[in-house]
Amino acid sequence: MKFHREGRTIISTTVIGLIIINLLIYKFFEQTGVLFSALPTLIILVLVLQFFRVPSRTVTETDGTVLCPADGKVVVIEETEEEEYFGDRRIQVSIFMSPLNVHINWYPISGIVKYFKYHPGKYLVAWHPKSSTENERTTVVVRHGSGTEVLFRQIAGAVARRIKCYALPEEPAVQAAEFGFIKFGSRVDVFLPLGSEILVSAGDKVKGTQTALARFPKESV
C-alpha cells in the first residue's frame, strides 16, 4: 500500500509516539500493561495509515463528463448563487469526507486553471450551511476546452485544519489528476452550469475519479 506524501510527518510522529508510550507502559506495568495497550495502539496506527493511503484506480478520461473530485457522501444538490467568481446561479453538489475516507482531491475535468484563491477562515463542522463561505477554504476554477467553467472548493471542517492545494493559475488541469489534499474530515463543493445533468443523488456514496458526478449541458459540449 502506498501512502500520501502529506502524511509522512504525521505517520512518523504517530509511530514514534506509540513506541515511546508502549515502552513507558512496559517499564511501569511490564507485560500486563503492554497486553492492554496493544489493541488501542494497533487501532490508532491502522486509522492513521488508512487515512493517508493512496488508492490504485484506473481512470478513463471522459470529455464532457464531470468526475467526482473526492471520496465521500453527497450531502447537497441545489441551485444556488455563486458569488465569489461567477456571480450568478449555479448547481452546487457537495461531497462530505469522513475521517475514514481517502482525502486526496482530484481534478473533475480537464482544461486550464483560470482562478485560484486561498481563504483563511473558521472551522465550523463541514456540513454547516455557512462552512462554504466562512471556513478555511480554497477555490479553483477550471475552464474546459469547450469554454465551460467548473468551480470546486476545498473546505476545512472542525477537525480538518490543513488544506493543501497544488493548482496554479494558467496551468493545465488533467481530469483525475491530483490537485490537493485535506487532512481529517472535510468537504468539497462543486459548482456546475445550470442545465447540467446531475448523475448522483443526495445520500449517495461516491468515489473520486470513479463516480460520474454530472454531464455538461449539451449546448456547451
pLDDT in tens, 73-104: 999 999 999 999 999 999 999 999 887 888 89
Is pLDDT larger for residue 182 or for residue 5?
182
User: Could you give the percent of the chain with pLDDT greater than 90?
Assistant: 49
- CA dist 75 → 8, 115, 198 (Å): 30, 25, 14
Per-residue model confidence (pLDDT) at position 179: 95
**CA dihedral of 69, 210, 74, 126, whole degrees rounded to 10:** -40
- The verdict on whether 220 is a catalytic residue reads no
Structure-block grid coordinates of residue 53 = 493511503
- Flag whether pLDDT at 123 surpasses 70: no
Contact 120, 94 (CB under 8 A): no
Per-residue model confidence (pLDDT) at position 202: 95
- Flag whether pLDDT at 128 surpasses 80: no
Per-residue model confidence (pLDDT) at position 9: 82
Catalytic residue among 12, 186, 196, 201: 186
Provide the pLDDT confidence category of residue 6 given band limits of 50, 70 and 90.
Answer: confident
Q: What is the rounded average pLDDT of the residues 199-221?
A: 89
Contact 123, 136 (CB under 8 A): yes
Contact 112, 142 (CB under 8 A): yes
Provide the pLDDT confidence category of residue 134 given band limits of 50, 70 and 90.
Answer: low
Per-residue model confidence (pLDDT) at position 47: 80
CATH class in words for 65-220: mainly beta
- Model-level pTM? 0.83
Task: Name, of 40-49, 65-74, 174-183, the range with top average pLDDT.
Answer: 65-74
- Flag whether pLDDT at 184 surpasses 70: no
Per-residue model confidence (pLDDT) at position 21: 83
| Sequence ranges of the chain with CATH classification 2.70.70.10 | 65-220
Per-residue model confidence (pLDDT) at position 158: 60
Element (H, E) at 19: helix 8-51
- Flag whether pLDDT at 54 surpasses 60: yes
Average pLDDT, whole number, for the chain?
85
Sorted by sequence, the CB contacts under 8 Å of residue 87 that are 6+ apart come out as none
pLDDT in tens, 26-44: 777 767 766 777 788 788 8
